[in-house]
Amino acid sequence: MQLKKKKMYETQLEQVDNNIARVNEQQVMLENQRTTAETVLALQQGVRANKATMQVSIASHSACNCCLRCAAWCILLLCLTACFRRFLASHAVQRT
pTM of the entire structure? 0.49
Q: State how many domains the chain has.
A: 1
Calculate ∠ Cα 35-49-71, nearest 5°.
115
pLDDT at residue 13 in the model? 94
SS3 41: helix
Angstrom CA distances, 54 to 34, 47, 77, stand at 30, 10, 14
> Rounded CA gap, 37 and 81, in Å?
17
Higher pLDDT, 92 or 87: 87
Is the separation of the CB atoms in 87 and 39 below 8 Å? yes
Calculate ∠ Cα 57-45-61, nearest 5°.
0
Residue 90 CB neighbour total at 10 angstroms: 11
pLDDT at residue 90 in the model? 77
